[in-house]
Amino acid sequence: MHPALRNTLVVILSILAGGLLNGMIIEISPKLIAPPEGADLTTEEGLIAAMKMMEPKHFLLPFLAHALGTLLAAWLIAKFAATRQTLLPYIAGILFLIGGIMMVMILPSPLWFTLSDLILAYLPMAWLGIFLSGKKR
């Protein structure tokens, strides 16, 4: 398979895998950490209203979802790309970061979470994915 085609497929499939992991963690998070009493997390309006009631523990799994989804995608890309294994994982990091920025715009969260999420969950996880894959510059 041509390296450019392989790289394209690896990037797309890896981002899908990372997005799937992200979504699965978000989906199970209310079962692991109960939402605040009376919070409706099934609608965008309910989520926005519930933000005022959320405690720091309620933000742990969303942060992990963002970080682990990005990490998985970056690791897969670094491991299976034909070339540029230390550059292409940052595409996943940047795309997940864009998604994080969009979520912050749609669903306002406390400033401490917004900053920690946008600063720590995306580009550092792309770097960690490269590091864990064993690839070196």
Mind listing the pLDDT tens digit for each residue in 75-125?
A: 999 999 999 999 999 999 999 999 999 999 998 899 999 999 999 999 999
| pLDDT for residue 137 | 61
Q: 51: buried, middle or exposed (CB in 10 Å: 19+, 13-18, 0-12)?
A: middle
User: Could you give the CA distance from residue 63 to residue 71 in angstroms, rounded to a whole number?
Assistant: 12
User: Could you give the CA distance from residue 59 to residue 35 in angstroms, rounded to a whole number?
Assistant: 10
> Which domain range does residue 15 map to?
3-133
| pLDDT for residue 87 | 95
Query: How many separate domains does the chain show?
Result: 1
User: Could you give the CA distance from residue 91 to residue 84 in angstroms, rounded to a whole number?
Assistant: 11
Whether the model clears a pTM of 0.75, i.e. scores above it, the answer is yes
Tell me the pLDDT tens digit for each residue of 48-76. 888 889 999 999 999 999 999 999 999 99
Q: Is the pLDDT of residue 42 over 90?
A: no
Q: Is residue 11 within 8 Å of residue 34, measured between CB atoms?
A: no
Q: Is residue 29 within 8 Å of residue 51, measured between CB atoms?
A: no
CB within 8 Å of 39: residues ≥ 6 apart: 46, 49, 50, 53, 54
Q: Is residue 75 within 8 Å of residue 92, measured between CB atoms?
A: no
Q: Is the pLDDT of residue 2 over 80?
A: yes
| pLDDT for residue 110 | 94
| pLDDT for residue 101 | 97
| pLDDT for residue 77 | 98
